Amino acid sequence: MTRPAARLYLSYGQKLFLLASLPMILAVSAIAILVAEQSRALAEREIRQLETQLIAVKKRELRNYVTQARNGFYFIYGSAAPDDDLSKEQVMQILSAMIYGDEGFFFVYDYDGTNLVSPRQTDLINNNHWDLKDSEGTPVVQEFIYTARAGAGYVEHLWPKPSTGEEARMITYVTSFPSWRWAVGTGVFIDDVLDSVAATRAEVEARVQRTFLYIGVITFAALLLVFVSGLVINIRERRLADAKLKELTQRVFDAQEEERGRVARELHDGISQILVGVKYALDVARRQVTQGDARADATLGRGLDNLTEAIHEVRRISRDLRPGVLDDLGLGPALKALTDDFRARTGIKTQFDTVVFRNRLDQESKIALYRIAQEALTNVERHSGAQSVVIDLRGHRSGATMRISDDGAGLGEQRRGPRQGIGLRNMQERMEQLGGLLIVSSSKSGTVIEARLPLSRMLSPQEQDASGPTKRIAP
């Protein structure tokens, strides 16, 4: 059964893509939301201003209508008595004839709520509508009368359209004829204003939606660009990694073949010849014994000496491949044995100095420093022509440092050579794998190789105790 952690595992490329895309998506989303909200808020303010201005125009228009109508029959109302029915009839006829547009008309209600004039809705005439309410519950006629009693004003309400009979939003301007106890007014339907406002709001929302669409397309294009770029980079990095892996594999093969060749040469030039000498001595001794020659004992002695030399040679080769003293006693004794053997074999004056720091290097670091010293001494023997070599190993607060210096001719052009370049490159890679640093400085007066290990390669006392008892007293 697949574990959830395995199903959620992301590759390096996927993590890189998420790392690049998620912040961009979040930022773009935040910007899009902010732009949309700001656009809606700004548009809403403008729409409200537009609605207010349109309604204000309607109100001024209504007020002008009522004022003109009143001026038209004021000469009748101004000289009439409160009970002058003839004057009232004349005014009602004038108002009944004052219709305008498709829906416009004047109306008259007395203060009791009885309709006296309604030219477009004649079924209302002479009926009391005091309790008339629209679908929103507004007592329309009562509002007319209250507004008229207050002098004049506007009333917003719903009213059936004369043309369709359906309710629509209406603004009415009402004034009073106080001596006759009349509420006179006219209204205008503002559904066209509302439709215009609704259309404007719909257009704003459509623009916001288009903005979201444009931002989404741009974001998708950016994500696609990031994905393609990441894919190209990933492919390129994979090719470089494959090339480096092939190069590293080839170098490993080369190192193996070189080591095999070295061991083969050691066996052929050293042990093989010594063993041939032993075989020859044994053959001579056998013949001498058969013949009763007294020199057989001396011949056997030379054969034993050669056999002892062969044993020492085998031990030397084994020590070069993997020094047992490194595992048994530690890095300090191993380097001491390496320098002693190098001095005895080459005749080059070799000095090893160290400071005891309780053998706190981890095993990988010990092997790396030993191999670097081994490679450096090999380069000194083969290429430098040095007369003396000094190896210094010390621990300090920031880690450990091994310094190898000689008084040879320096690297010079040999540093660029393929064989010598491999040795230096191997040293560099060993230090890089441990997070350390290799510094090589060379001049005509000698070469200095300094290998620095970080403090993280030093074992803590607890880790050192957990590794078991040790006989080592040097680093």
**Average of pLDDT values for 99-114?**
88
Give the pLDDT of residue 323: 66
The mean predicted confidence, pLDDT, of the chain is 79
Domain ranges of the chain: 47-189, 324-466
Q: Sheet containing 437-443: give its strands across.
A: 349-354, 388-396, 399-406, 446-454, 437-443
- Segment 52-79, tens digit of pLDDT: 787 788 788 888 888 777 777 777 887 7
Exposure of 190 by Cβ count < 10 A (0-12 exposed, 13-18 middle, 19+ buried)? buried
Full strand arrangement of the beta sheet holding 182-189: 115-117, 106-110, 182-189, 167-177, 152-160
Query: Is the pLDDT confidence value at 87 over 50?
Result: yes
If we measure between CA atoms, which residue out of 151, 185, 169 comes closest to residue 69?
185
SS3 content of the chain, % helix, strand, coil (to 5): 65, 15, 20
Strand 437-443 relative to strand 152-160, pairing: unpaired
Paired with 389 in beta bridges are 350, 406
The yes-or-no verdict on residue 51 having pLDDT over 90 is: no
Torsion of CA 273, 277, 280, 286, to 10 degrees: -140
What is the rounded CA–CA span in Å between residue 354 and residue 272?
37
Provide CATH code, domain 324-466: 3.30.565.10
- CA atoms of 237 and 303, how far apart (whole Å): 61
pLDDT at 262: 67
Percent of the chain past pLDDT 90, that is, above it, reads 12
Pick from 93-102, 124-133, 404-413: least confident: 404-413
Rg, the chain, Cα only? 55
State whether the Cα torsion 411-417-421-422 is positive or negative. negative
The 10s digit of each residue's pLDDT in 173-195 is 998 888 999 999 888 888 777 77
Overall average pLDDT of the 123-134 stretch? 92
Which residues, 6 or more positions from 453, have their beta carbon under 8 angstroms from its beta carbon?
A: 361, 365, 369, 399, 400, 401, 431, 434, 435, 436
Alpha helix segments (H runs only) across 80-139: 85-97
* From 16-20, 27-31, 58-62, the region with the lowest mean pLDDT: 16-20
Architecture of domain 47-189: 2-Layer Sandwich (3.30)
Partners of 473 in the β-ladder: none
Beta bridge partners of 108: 117, 184
What type of residue sits at position 441? S
What is the pLDDT at residue 417?
Answer: 46
Per-range mean pLDDT, top range of 105-114, 204-213, 231-240, 335-344: 105-114
CA 321 to centroid of chain Cα atoms: 48
pLDDT at 224: 81
User: Which residues share a beta bridge with 168?
Assistant: 159
pLDDT at 344 over 80: yes
Which residues, 6+ apart, have CB-to-CB distance to 195 below 8 Å? none
pLDDT band at 210 (very low <50, low <70, confident <90, very high): confident
Q: Helix or strand or coil: residue 411?
A: coil
Q: Give the model's confidence band at 83: pLDDT under 50 very low, under 70 low, under 90 confident, else very high.
A: confident
Among 14-28, 53-67, 363-377, name the one with the lowest average pLDDT.
14-28
